[in-house]
Chain A
């Protein structure tokens, strides 16, 4: 089944005392896709990922990863055999060398891919004899990524994989993500690198204050999100534009800017009917969609 969800949650919630980190999250991540998970710091991304992997127990709600219940310990163990995960803080043993770390990790996985290991060691220019505690932040990230990529998982979950990488490192990372995706690995990754997400992701989920605000394919966002800048002969009739799909309206003198998630044609039509003297329509990039969505809430 190609459309079956690799991650599925229903009303998944996590509270710490009075603080709600994740609030009633309904997530459905499609198979064979690259899905980006965006949100500000503290939006609940890492908490969500840790709940999916059974590292944190949800306060309420349920979820499955690769069809296995996340809160059932036995099922969670099963699912983790088929999921490769790169944690935000990239935990590694500081006293091991790069080589020892790779030997150590590969021993756990019968599906270890020596060819991928070799290629990434070369591409990432990792110093094999150096101790992990002596690695730079970027090198640590690369080593952690290598350990995940050299397996043959069904699902890759990456928490801030590009953190600490320079632009060249990010480019390699994205290429490896694409290669993994081409081999049928489903990918779910959180990131702050909007420009990169915009190139490589099929689907994007935006989390803010523990709630899912946007859950759409990038094709959909590109096709339907528009900013329409209007100028009227007199004060803009703002109320006339409060229609479905209009997310935000800003006024300044005779000018008005409409941010629409759909129905841009209806806005343009209305603008003409109301004698707008200038109508300019522009597509909205993911960065602006993110900022507008987060601002609105």
Chain B
């Protein structure tokens, strides 16, 4: 598995790592029972604080996506819920593709579309709901 953390985005590194592991499980890059590197190994590989990896693993264990076994590392457990989430993501991607195609037809450049997406994603959820 390859993970890539970006220190300059406005998102804690442990959250980025959680999302990438989750994504890998949803897309099937990680299977049920697969073993992830130990905290120290992954921290040295990514050159991030071991606390970052430890926090991501422990939160994912809490979510039920990882099982931490003393001394032998972290194991992926993909349940049905994760797979249904994968389907949801598939559907969402399809819808986004439709929106993007329409915007392109209307003459917007990709860079403008990207900025618009990013701006909307940065709105806190509650404000979006109020609008």
Q: Do A and B come from one complex?
A: yes
Residues of A within 8 A of B (CB): 32-34, 171, 174-175, 178-179, 181-182, 195, 198-202, 218-219, 222-223, 225-226, 264-265, 268-269, 272, 279-286
Q: Quick one: which of B32-76 are within 8 Å of A by CB?
A: 39-40, 43-44, 47-52
CB distance from B76 to the nearest CB of A (A): 22
Judge whether B9 and A280 touch: CB under 8 Å.
no
Whether the Cβ atoms of A222 and B126 lie closer than 8 Å is: no
Cross-chain pair count, CB within 8 angstroms: 84
Complex Cα distance, B39 from A121, in Å, reads 25
> Complex formed: what's the CA distance from A218 to B16 in Å?
13
Complex: A284 Cα to B7 Cα, angstroms: 10
Q: Is B107 an interface residue (CB 8 A)?
A: no
Q: List 30 A-B contacts (CB under 8 A).
A: A32-B51, A33-B49, A33-B51, A34-B49, A175-B47, A178-B43, A178-B48, A179-B44, A181-B43, A182-B39, A182-B50, A195-B7, A198-B8, A199-B5, A199-B47, A218-B13, A219-B13, A219-B14, A222-B12, A223-B12, A225-B10, A226-B10, A265-B124, A268-B124, A268-B127, A272-B127, A279-B119, A283-B10, A285-B7, A286-B7
State the CA gap A226–B50 with chains docked (Å): 26
Q: A222 touching B9 by the CB < 8 A rule?
A: yes
Taking the closest CB of chain B, its distance from the CB of A207, in whole angstroms, is 21
A175 CA to B39 CA in the complex, in Å? 13
Is there a chain A Cβ closer than 8 Å to B1's Cβ?
A: no
Inter-chain contact A199/B48, CB cutoff 8 Å: yes
Q: Within the assembled complex, what's the spacing in Å between the Cα atoms of A144 and B123?
A: 48
In the complex formed, the residue of B with least CB distance to A35 is B49
Collect the chain A residues with CB atoms within 8 Å of residue B115's CB.
280
By the criterion CB–CB under 8 Å, are A175 and B44 in contact? yes
Query: Are B44's CB and A182's CB within 8 A?
Result: yes
B49 and A202 form a contact (CB under 8 A): yes
How many B residues touch A, CB cutoff 8 Å?
26
Q: Is the CB of A222 within 8 A of B49?
A: no
Cα–Cα, bound, A219→B51 (Å): 11
Q: Are A222 and B47 in contact (CB under 8 A)?
A: no
Say whether B49 contacts A283, CB under 8 Å.
no
Q: How far is the CB of B131 from chain A (nearest CB, A)?
A: 8
- Please measure, in the bound complex, the distance between the C-alpha atom of A198 and the C-alpha atom of B9, giving whole angstroms: 11
In the complex the two chains form, is A281's CB within 8 Å of B119's CB? yes
Evaluate contact between B11 and A200: CB separation under 8 angstroms: no
Residue A174 contacts which of B10, B39, B47 (CB distance < 8 angstroms)?
B47
Q: A33-B51, A199-B48 are in contact. List 5 more A-B contacts (CB 8 A).
A: A175-B44, A179-B44, A195-B7, A199-B5, A202-B49
Contact in complex: B51, A223 (CB < 8 Å) = no
User: Which residues of chain A are within 8 angstroms of B126 by Cβ–Cβ distance?
Assistant: 265
Instruction: Indicate if the CB atoms of A202 and B10 lie closer than 8 Å.
Output: no
**A245 nearest CB across to chain B (Å):** 14
Residue of B5, B8, B51, B119 near A283 (CB, 8 A) is: B8
In the complex, the answer to whether B8 meets A171 with C-beta atoms within 8 Å is no
CA distance A33 to B51 in the complex (A): 7
Question: Is the beta-carbon distance between B44 and A178 smaller than 8 angstroms?
Answer: yes
